[in-house]
Amino acid sequence: MIYFLIVSFTSVALSVASVAFMLHLSHKRAWYDHVNERKIHSGEIPRLGGIGFGLAFIIIATFISFFTRQMDFTIRFLPCVIALFISLVFGVLDDFRPLVPRNKLLLQFVAALLVIIPGFTFERIIFLDSSGFLSNLGWLSYPITFLWLVGLTNAVNLIDGVDGLAGGLSALIALSFAVIFFSFTETISVELFCICLFGVLLGFLVFNAPLPRAKIFMGDGGSQFLGFALALLPLLGEDETRAALPVLYAAALLAIPIFDTIAAVWRRIRDHRRIDSPDTFHVHHKLLNLGFGARGVNAILYSLQIVLSVLVFISIQVNGWRSLAILGIAYFVAITFFAIIHFLNRRIIAAARKSTITVK
């Protein structure tokens, strides 16, 4: 317990200090977020908060790997630290001068390989029972893990559109990972990595929560780093050979950014647009269009995340097909939510167009 208290306090404190420093420096250097038709904020607000909590996590996570695991794990974890640093640094560069999508994707590929090569990969799809597994992925573990890392790096970036949303959701997910890992693993460092990410995000939310509005954003550097860090957590195994969670359980915990990204890709393919082209039809945009403010959007999506986390936790505690049934309920809840929001939003858009035509 003492380890958890130390990591929690240190993570929050270091993050608060780092983000406060970046806030001061950004105002001094006039490093502000650009306002355009896609942004919902106004005024001069810095967007480099990701540097603060990102560096705090990297520093503390490195210490955790040295002091709570065997040297073999520490050596294997160091490439992951480099991968996290790449995600953060080049994301920050993207904040200052947008990178060509091809180059951005190439850097994400490199970061993913730095995790996969030391052996941090998914090895199974789902739990079968308390003593075995339904399926071993075999060679498929490599492409699935690769897609997981690159996909989530971009998914969290896409959902970062409302004060406190990406940071708050990610904090809940990190805490959920910690509780779940604590329930079935004996390797304390797995939980400590999760608590560390939860702590640095709490420190960031001190400045990013919509109370009444954010003082600093995480920026592309923060959101890309955060997506990569969340993708990494379930891969830090309970032993030297297995990821801590099967892929379908991990994906259920991250269903909100994953489903939002799948919907975005589908929209752009359907409309014959580039996959990386921006739009204003993400889940938070739809909720805003339904009349909710930033705090309302956060309350709804935080609540959905808590429901998903509870369902995944319960599914891991039971055995066999009951586990699969509860996991299926988690996916059904997420899909139903996105479907309802989609059709409600379509009705509002249709009504607005009809009203415009009537006025003309």
SS3 string of 144-190? HHHHHHHHHHHHHHHHCCCCCHHHHHHHHHHHHHHHHHHHHCCCHHH
Q: Do the beta carbons of residue 220 and residue 210 sit within 8 Å?
A: no
Both tokens of 101, joined, read 């999508």
Q: Which residues contact residue 283 at a Cβ distance below 8 angstroms, ignoring those fewer than 6 apart?
A: 159, 256, 259, 260, 263, 301, 338, 341
**Is-contact 327 315, C-beta < 8 A?**
yes
Q: How far apart are CA 271 and CA 255, in angstroms?
A: 24
Kindly compute the dihedral angle of the four CA atoms of residues 275, 173, 182, 334, in this order, to the nearest 10 degrees.
-80
At residue 238, the pLDDT reads: 52
Looking at the 3D structure of the chain, how many domains does it have? Answer: 1
What pLDDT sits at residue 133?
A: 44
HSE on the CB side for 24, CA within 13 Å?
A: 6
Task: Note if the pTM is more than 0.85.
Answer: yes
Answer whether 135's CB lies under 8 Å from 124's CB.
yes
pLDDT at 241: 47
Domain that includes residue 300, residue range? 2-359
Q: What is the pLDDT of residue 131?
A: 43
* pLDDT tens by residue, the chain, 360 residues: 788 899 999 999 999 999 999 999 999 888 887 655 555 545 679 989 999 999 999 999 999 988 866 677 788 899 999 999 999 999 999 888 888 888 999 999 999 999 999 989 998 887 654 444 455 778 888 999 999 999 999 999 999 989 999 999 999 999 999 999 988 776 678 899 999 999 999 999 999 998 888 999 999 999 999 999 999 999 987 554 456 788 999 999 999 999 999 999 999 999 888 888 888 889 999 999 999 999 999 999 999 999 999 999 999 888 778 889 999 999 999 999 999 999 999 888 888 777 666 555
Cα separation, 197 vs 285, whole angstroms: 26
